[in-house]
Amino acid sequence: MHTLLFATNNKNKVAEIQSLVGPDFKIITLSEAGIDIDIPEPHDTLQENALEKASVIFSMTQQNCFSEDTGLEITALKDAPGVKSARYAGEGRDFQANIDKVLLNLKDIENRTAQFRTVICLLWKHANNKLQTYYFEGICKGHIAHVMQGEKGFGYDPIFIPEGSDKSFAQMNMEEKNEFSHRQKAVTKLFEFLSSL
């Protein structure tokens, strides 16, 4: 059994990822590891932020760990909010304010194409003690609805409709969302890689 620390404080992400993990892996959350810090996300790319989060936790614990950073990329807004998705409407990281800003910025715009993109960064110490960094990406294409739909999930879920569905992520239960989700695709790649070690 492999034990892996997941460098996040986001309970929704932990629940989504735990529902995908097989019996060979045990995911430990930061709170389970007794770590209570707000990990910085200061960079301009998802990749750099994911590396920052994993590196902070690895340097504190010396344990194999992974982190993920996700952004909503809206074509008509030149891929904004992107790496700034959590703080699009300000430092308060308010989901409703972020959604309101997206809907306002897309008012009267016909092209609603968007995608969620997740980058996972894994820091893995091999048997010979060599520490290596690996990245895994997952993309979910879709579009932005004109109004909020549904109450499940988190973040931008009420306004994101994935390709192949007419429901928003917030109208789906976790299993349905996982069939489409960016995070699920990136996590699947991560666990395929770990299973091959």
Residue numbers at the binding site for ligand IMP (CB under 6 A): 10, 41, 69-70, 72, 85-86, 93, 95, 98, 116, 153-157, 169, 183
Question: Encoding tokens for residue 110?
Answer: 């016909």
Q: Are 138 and 185 in contact (CB under 8 A)?
A: yes
100: amino acid identity, one letter: D
- Smallest distance, ligand IMP to C-beta of residue 118, A: 7
**Nearest residue to 146 (alpha-carbon basis) of 160, 129, 135:** 160
The nearer residue to ligand IMP, 17 or 195, going by C-beta atoms, is 17
- Smallest distance, ligand IMP to C-beta of residue 64, A: 20
The nearer residue to ligand IMP, 125 or 167, going by C-beta atoms, is 167
The nearer residue to ligand IMP, 24 or 44, going by C-beta atoms, is 44
- Smallest distance, ligand IMP to C-beta of residue 183, A: 6
Residue 77, Ramachandran bin (φ over 0: left; ψ between -120 and 50: alpha; else beta): alpha
Q: ω before 81 within 30° of 0 (cis)?
A: yes
The nearer residue to ligand IMP, 71 or 124, going by C-beta atoms, is 71
Helix (H) or strand (E) holding 18: helix 11-18
- Smallest distance, ligand IMP to C-beta of residue 84, A: 8
For residue 115, the cross-strand partners are: 73, 141
The residues that are catalytic are: 69
- What one-character DSSP code corresponds to residue 10? -
Q: Which residue is closest to ligand IMP by CB?
A: 155
